[in-house]
Homo-oligomer: A and B are copies of this chain.
């Protein structure tokens, strides 16, 4: 698939069918993640590819109440939005409900882990939230999402389960020193899947020489 076509049609696909993913397709998607750049080429991340039915159901049991809380907060925002925007958001919240209620039935959930001892977190000492560690993991996550899109697999980057990290670590036997940073359900779409996306125009996202 063409690079720009993949990027410009990669949307959050939250309604996924339980149908299995062929091994060769899944392997190409996972392999794409390994190509991503990382600080010092140390590749300080690891994917746990969750396929076991009981473990997926346990992830759903953790995810559903987190989603319901998030969704609740969002309702307040909807009231303040222009109607066309609110309508779009309502649709994506409904799709989020579907994901939360069916997470255990998607064929694969990829849990990205990271090890900060192999990261140079250059913004650790700044007096504000640090995010630079993410520079050695989320490029790999984006590669995985783009590869999934090119293979016709629905997917969405979720992070709500980070709030339940101790339980997730226990469930997936994630060792000490490793932590979680993304949970990506993969599966063939129920509906049309990927397609047009809604983003701000470039002119609003950049400036020249000064912010």
* Chain B residues, CB < 8 A from A210: 48, 172-173
Residues A56-94 near B (CB distance < 8 A) = 70, 74, 92
Identical chains bound together, number:
2
A45-B205 in contact given A35-B10, A37-B12, A135-B157 (Cβ < 8 Å): yes
Q: Known contacts A205-B33, A209-B52; decide if A3 and B150 are in contact (CB<8 Å).
A: yes
Size bracket, chain A contacts: 35 or more
Is chain A's interface secondary structure helix, strand, loop, or mixed overall? mixed
Count chain B CB atoms within 10 A of each CB in A11, A30, A138, A199 and give the residue with the most: A138
Looking across the interface, which residue of chain B has its beta carbon closest to that of A50? B209
Contacts of A4 in B (CB 8 A): 28, 32, 147, 150
Known contacts: A141-B135, A172-B210. The answer to whether A122 contacts B159 by CB under 8 A is yes
- Chain B residues, CB < 8 A from A125: 163
Q: In the complex the two chains form, what is the Cα distance from A146 to B5 in whole Å?
A: 13
Are A209 and B35 closer than 8 Å at their CB atoms? no
1/0 per position for A161-172, CB-CB distance to B under 8 A? 111010000001
| Docked pose: A4 CA to B27 CA in angstroms | 13
CA distance A30 to B197 in the complex (A): 17
The answer to whether B133 touches A179, judged by C-beta atoms less than 8 angstroms apart, is no
Chain B residues with CB below 8 A from A102, complex form: none
Q: A35 to chain B: which residues have CB within 8 Å?
A: 7-8, 10, 197, 199
Among residues 104 to 143 in chain A, which have CB atoms less than 8 Å away from a CB atom of chain B? Answer: 113-114, 116, 119-126, 128-135, 137-139, 141-143
* Among candidates B49, B128, B173, residue contacting A206 with C-beta atoms closer than 8 Å: B49
* 7 A-B contact pairs sorted by A residue (CB < 8 Å): A30-B202, A33-B205, A34-B205, A37-B156, A43-B200, A70-B120, A138-B139
